[in-house]
Amino acid sequence: MKQKIQYISSDKVPYYSMLSDYKWVPDFVKLEAARFKLLQLKNQEHDPYMLTREEFLEQIREQWQDYENYRLERMKRYLNNFRFKGSNPFDSYIILKTEVPPFLPFEQFESAIREMDGLGISSEDVQKNNLSIIDRQKSLENLIKKLCPKDFFVMSGGNVDFDVREKYVTRWRELQKKVDLPLAPNGILLKESPREEKRAWMELVGHEYVNPHADLTPDFNE
């Protein structure tokens, strides 16, 4: 048998008297959306250490040339041992492979790089993309500031401790996850709440936080 969650009077719910008109809900919904978009944008920034296709190709070209120069030097040193009539540098293929690194055609590397995924962005595109992201980030950061009026801040020593709306919503969501039916912040069944509170529940909490398998159920006003 399921137990009823403990009911508390509304005036005991933290910040209920301040927030129970729910006029702040539309701005708070926009605030959460803006913060989510900002996080997504930060994840979209191109890693400045990740090479574009042309940069990667140029890097490999330089490294291949260093390898080829080294290979030719090793070959010259090896061939220097066979400067006598009748001597054959190809008598021992095993020794030849050990002494002279294999020839690796650069064209094969170039073909492979041309076909690699995720290297299609040019350095100019990377710069433009990052600048666009920075502009959008600034726009979102400005929007977030506008959606965070100081009236909702709890301050300590001149610094912001927290936004009471976040505390209120987080508590409501955590409470909802523990019960099997939609509930109000004070623990009663949501259908007994005022219309504004029901609308706020839909905007801030919603069915995704309802736990149909929970052992707790909302209380009823009697």
Cβ-proximal residues to 106 (8 Å cutoff; 6+ apart), any chain: 61, 64, 68
d(CA 209, CA 62): 56
Helix orientation angle between 123-146 and 25-44, rounded to the nearest 10 degrees:
160
CA distances from 149 to 33, 158, 165, 170, 193 (A): 17, 15, 11, 19, 27
159-163 and 153-156 as β-strands: parallel, antiparallel, unpaired?
antiparallel
Is 190 part of a structural domain of the chain?
yes
What the block records as the tokens of 31 is 């605030």
The boundaries of the domain holding residue 108 are: 53-120
Same domain, 61 and 160: no
Q: Please check whether residue 194 lies inside any domain of the structure.
A: yes
| Buried residues in 33-45 as b, exposed as e (16+ CB within 10 A) | ebeebbeebeeee
Asked whether residue 30 falls in the same domain as residue 9, the answer is: yes
207 with 139, same domain: the answer is yes
Q: How far apart are CA 34 and CA 156, in angstroms?
A: 26
Which DSSP state fits 209?
A: G
Q: Is residue 127 part of a domain?
A: no
Domains of the chain: total: 2
What local confidence, expressed as pLDDT, does residue 128 receive? 76
Same domain, 110 and 153: no
Using an 8 Å Cβ cutoff, are 168 and 197 in contact? no
CA 71/CA 105 separation, integer angstroms: 12
Closest CA to 170 of 40, 32, 5, 38: 32
Query: Can you name the residues that pair with 159 across neighbouring β-strands?
Result: 156
**Tens-level pLDDT at each residue, the chain (222 residues):** 678 887 888 889 999 999 999 999 999 999 999 999 999 888 766 655 567 788 889 999 999 999 999 999 999 998 988 888 888 888 877 778 888 888 999 999 999 988 886 666 666 776 777 788 889 999 999 999 999 999 999 998 888 899 999 999 999 999 999 999 999 999 899 999 999 999 999 999 999 999 999 888 887 654
